[in-house]
Structure 1
Amino acid sequence: MRRDFGGPDDLVAMQGMASRLWSPHSRFHPGQLAWNRYSRPVDAAGVDDGEAISIWEAGGEAVGFGWAEAPDWLELQVDPAHPEVAEELLEWFEEVSDAEQQSALVMQGDVAEQALAAAGFAPEEDGPFFVHHVVELVDLPPVPALEGYALRQVSADEAGPRAAVHAAAWSDVGPSQVDAQAYAQVMAAWAYRADLDWVVTDASGELVASALVWLDPATGVGLVEPVGCVPEHRGRGLAAAVTLASLHHLRSIGGTLGQVTPRGDDGYPGPQRLYRSLGFRPTARTVTWTRSLD
């Protein structure tokens, strides 16, 4: 049975599926879905213009979902026990999309690959891709001392400053949609925890770096998403320190594994080098599949 997205409860159903299927080789962690949904101002009960989300269920649980973030871009996950959903999902995407070229992102070897190929999609040989990395939390290096800076957790009333440090850290990539409203949505989402949201402050108390970790209590896996440091404070180990601080706290509350998914291609190598220096090791990569309908 398929239904269109109807609000926060449906996102929780998608997160529950991601949790149930999680492995180092699966596409989504529940925290990724929460960040993708709420890291911009949205109508919690609906979708944006040009966006569409649909969920497939069997036996009372989600077994697949498609998230057309734009007419030309599809995110999806299909339960390997229900491979037939992939074909229905791609037919749905074609119905809701009017783009002449369409792309879909899946993990290499994903159950949906056969349906993608049958629908005329082909894997891209070049271009950006992402690589899941994991670290056993017992193997974490210590949190380094930071001269002139301090590490702390975010307070519940700091949505505005927390959004501002994220936006500043990503300013060289492009304008950020993360504002105070969006970050308040993030803080209200399952499975956000303020004790896993860490920042670095400078001598004046200004927030200059941040790292957010999402704990899935069912698996014990904490997803690092996102991390950032404002440009004028880079090169001082702040991103590494704030990431380690959040991961050490994750371990202290029962987390067992950390996950992060940086770019794996040569176009943006810095984050991958950072995370590997902290003990993260690669597991599986994404593949973009594209088709033209013109």
Structure 2
Amino acid sequence: MTIALGTPTVDGVCEAMAALREWQDDEAPMQLHPGDIGWHYRFGPAETAPVIRTWSRAGRIVAVGMLDSPTLFRMTVAPDAFQDEDLARRLVEDLSLPERGVLPAGAVSVEAPVGLLLHDLLSTEGWGVDDPWTPLFRDLTEPVADPGVRIAPIGPDQAQDFADVLRSAFHTSRPTSEYRHAMSAGPFHADARCLGAYDDQGEVAAVVTVWSAGPGRPGLVEPMGVHEDHRGRGYGRAITVAGASALRKLGSSSARVCTPSSYAGAVATYRAAGFEVRPEVRDRIRLG
């Protein structure tokens, strides 16, 4: 049966999000989450829809991907299609041939969940592996302890504080106050909670945004950051605990996050917040 590759319209992104919500499960490996697309909406709908790709068969979406940057494609497939050979071969072709419009020419990386037949086929085609990432998981069955610092929502009025913390945390000039405003205006903002941890002087020390995939499904931490002036004081643990609590209130069964294994401090922070380390994963890389 024919598999159709498509790029959704702005309205069509909701269909891809619905598929991703349905595919989230506590027993599934780390994979593309609806919150990943929700976070990308900080660039606005006109910048988000064109980077989404869907693969459909008989009218049903069986794979969803997002070009997270010009050289990184993040994707997952329906749970019952992990070992689907027809789909895997079609994905390999579309990912390998720039003329298909999924990936540009040159060196690129693909993030895909462990267990896909796709990985075996990419190895056969000569794709390599990139640096390791560490997935972390926290069960939310039981109530989450108080984080121990003042926590408050980060709304549009605190947009500049949100941007300042992320700029400092990730040593980048990219985050702006418009990120927060665009997120608020996005169609998926009801699934998100954006929180700040405050010091004794009322300054925002750390921020987190968490994303629900619906009741009974794992939620996502994306992003979390601590201002460099407040590092080493427990604010990263506190804001992560607060994010987990917010997800539990939204009905999430668990909280997930994935960070480069080389970021030892980040891994330690998540572990301190009650997250368990899962086996490392690696992106696939196609050299130019």
TM-score interval w.r.t. the shorter chain? 0.7 to 0.9
Contact 1:137 1:251 in 2 (8 A): yes
Letter in 2 for 1:143: D
- Residue number in structure 2 paired with 1:54: 53
Contact 1:123 1:288 in 2 (8 A): yes
- The alpha-carbon distance between structure 1 residues 63 and 218, as it changes in their structure 2 partners (threshold 3 A), is farther
- The alpha-carbon distance between structure 1 residues 43 and 61, as it changes in their structure 2 partners (threshold 3 A), is same
Normalization by structure 2: what TM-score?
0.82
CA distance in 1, matches of 2:144, 2:48: 42
CA RMSD of aligned residues (A): 2.8
Contact 1:65 1:76 in 2 (8 A): yes
CA distance in 1, matches of 2:69, 2:247: 34
- Residue number in structure 2 paired with 1:81: 80
- The alpha-carbon distance between structure 1 residues 18 and 42, as it changes in their structure 2 partners (threshold 3 A), is closer
Normalization by structure 1: what TM-score?
0.80
Q: Which structure 1 residue ranges, 5 or more long, are not aligned?
A: none
Quote how far apart the aligned CAs of 1:231 are: 0.5
**Structure 2 residue aligned with 1:145, among 145, 148, 151?**
148
Q: Is 1:207 equivalent to 2:204 in the alignment?
A: yes
Contact 1:212 1:246 in 2 (8 A): yes
- Residue number in structure 1 paired with 2:231: 234
Larger helix fraction of residues = 2
Quote how far apart the aligned CAs of 1:38 are: 2.5
Q: Which structure 2 residue ranges, 5 or more long, are not aligned?
A: none
Contact 2:240 2:270 in 1 (8 A): no
Q: Determine helix, strand or coil for the equivalent of 2:20.
A: helix
Contact 1:6 1:45 in 2 (8 A): no
- Residue number in structure 1 paired with 2:276: 281
Q: Is 1:182 equivalent to 2:185 in the alignment?
A: no
Q: Determine helix, strand or coil for the equivalent of 1:130.
A: strand
- Residue number in structure 2 paired with 1:290: 285
CA distance in 2, matches of 1:268, 1:29: 22
Letter in 2 for 1:256: S
Letter in 2 for 1:91: E
Contact 1:7 1:45 in 2 (8 A): no
- The alpha-carbon distance between structure 1 residues 114 and 253, as it changes in their structure 2 partners (threshold 3 A), is closer
Q: Determine helix, strand or coil for the equivalent of 2:197.
A: strand
Q: Is 1:224 equivalent to 2:259 in the alignment?
A: no
Count of residues paired in the alignment: 277
Contact 2:10 2:45 in 1 (8 A): no
Contact 2:168 2:227 in 1 (8 A): yes
Q: Percent identity?
A: 23
